C-alpha cells in the first residue's frame, strides 16, 4: 500500500547496547524489553517529556528540507507525517484483517533523525480487534494526545492546526485504503475502513476537522508558507494566501 503503511517487526540496523542482538527472552525484535537500536527510541520516552531531542531533530530536519523560515511550519509537517504513520499502520490491518497491532508507546520505537515516512519499529506481539473504541484507545488516546503535547513543548503552534493534521492524516489513510481495496477487489475492506473512520471522526478532538464526501480539511497545515510550497490536495484554501514572506523588489 506504500511506505506509510510499513511497520518494522524486527530491529533496524544499528548498535545494540546488549551486544547480543536479542531481547531478554532470546528472540530478536519481540517484546516490550527489546533494546534500543541506532537512534530508535520508544515513543513512551518522548511522551513522558524525558527527552525531546528526537522531536527537535525531526523538526530541524524537516525545516532544512522544506527551507521553512517559520518553525511552526516545519513542526506542522513533521506532526502530520507521524500522525499519518500512526493511523496507517493501524487502520490498514484493521480494515484488511479485522485486527491491528497493539502499538503501545513502550513497544513502538521511532528515530526522529531519519527522513519521511517516519521509520517505526514495533517490538510487541499483541493485536487488538478492529473496533472504533479499540483504535481510539490505541492511537488517539495513547499516542496522539501526548504527541500533541510534545509538539506544543517544541514551540508555538495552534492546537486546532494539530488536530486538523490528525483528521487529515486519518482521511488520507482512508483514501489510500479505499483505492487499494477497489483495485484488489476487496469491497469488504473498504467498507470496514469507512465505518471505522466515520466512528473515529466522531470525537470532540476530531469533529469538524474534515468535511464533505472528499473529507476536505477545515484548517491548513501551513505548507504553502514554504518557499516552494503550495496547497495540499485536501487544503481548506482554494488559492494560496499571501504570506507576507514573498520576495519584494528593492526600493528604488
pLDDT of 83 higher than 80:
yes
Lowest mean pLDDT among 12-16, 43-47, 104-108, 122-126: 12-16
DSSP reduced 3-state for 191:
helix
- Asked if residue 99 lies in contact with residue 130, where contact means CB atoms within 8 angstroms, the answer is yes
DSSP reduced 3-state for 204:
coil
The cell for 123 is 517490538
Q: How confident is the model at residue 199 (pLDDT cuts 50, 70, 90)?
A: very high
Lowest mean pLDDT among 51-60, 81-90, 129-138: 51-60
> Which residues on adjacent β-strands are paired with residue 216?
211
What are the residue ranges spanned by the domains of the chain?
3-12+38-225
Q: How confident is the model at residue 37 (pLDDT cuts 50, 70, 90)?
A: low
More confident residue, 139 or 23: 139
Helix, strand, coil tally for the chain in percent (to 5): 45, 10, 45
CB atoms within 10 A of CB 89: 24
Question: Which residue reads 484548517 in cell numbers?
Answer: 219
From CA 231, how far away is CA 225, in angstroms rounded? 9
Q: What integer pLDDT is reported at residue 47 of this predicted model?
A: 94
- Arithmetic mean of pLDDT over the chain: 84
Q: For the segment 207-244, what is each residue's pLDDT rounded down to a tens digit?
A: 999 888 888 888 887 767 777 777 776 677 777 676 55
From CA 107, how far away is CA 118, in angstroms rounded? 16
Amino acid at each position: 500500500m506504500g511506505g506509510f503503511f510499513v511497520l518494522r517487526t524486527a530491529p533496524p540496523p544499528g548498535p545494540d547496547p546488549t551486544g547480543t542482538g536479542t531481547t531478554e527472552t532470546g528472540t530478536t525484535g519481540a517484546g516490550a524489553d527489546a533494546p534500543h537500536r541506532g537512534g530508535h527510541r520508544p515513543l513512551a520516552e518522548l511522551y513522558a517529556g524525558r527527552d525531546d531531542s528526537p522531536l527537535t531533530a525531526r523538526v530541524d530536519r524537516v525545516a532544512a528540507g522544506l527551507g521553512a523560515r517559520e518553525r511552526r511550519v516545519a513542526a506542522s509537517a513533521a506532526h502530520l507525517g507521524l500522525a499519518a504513520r500512526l493511523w496507517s499502520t493501524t487502520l490498514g490491518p484493521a480494515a484488511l484483517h479485522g485486527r491491528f497491532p497493539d502499538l503501545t508507546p513502550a513497544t513502538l520505537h521511532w528515530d526522529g533523525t531519519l527522513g519521511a515516512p517516519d521509520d517505526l519499529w514495533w517490538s510487541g506481539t499483541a493485536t487488538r480487534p478492529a473496533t472504533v473504541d479499540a483504535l481510539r484507545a490505541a492511537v488517539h488516546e495513547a499516542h496522539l494526545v501526548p504527541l500533541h503535547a510534545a509538539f506544543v513543548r517544541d514551540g508555538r503552534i495552534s492546537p486546532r492546526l494539530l488536530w486538523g493534521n490528525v483528521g487529515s492524516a486519518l482521511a488520507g489513510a482512508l483514501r489510500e485504503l479505499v483505492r487499494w481495496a477497489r483495485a484488489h477487489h476487496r469491497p469488504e475492506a473498504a467498507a470496514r475502513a469507512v465505518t471505522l473512520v466515520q466512528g473515529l471522526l466522531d470525537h470532540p478532538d476530531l469533529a469538524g476537522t474534515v468535511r464533505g464526501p472528499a473529507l476536505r480539511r477545515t484548517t491548513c497545515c501551513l505548507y504553502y508558507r514554504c518557499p516552494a510550497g503550495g496547497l495540499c490536495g485536501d487544503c481548506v484554501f482554494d488559492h494560496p494566501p499571501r504570506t507576507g514572506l514573498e520576495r519584494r523588489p528593492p526600493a528604488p
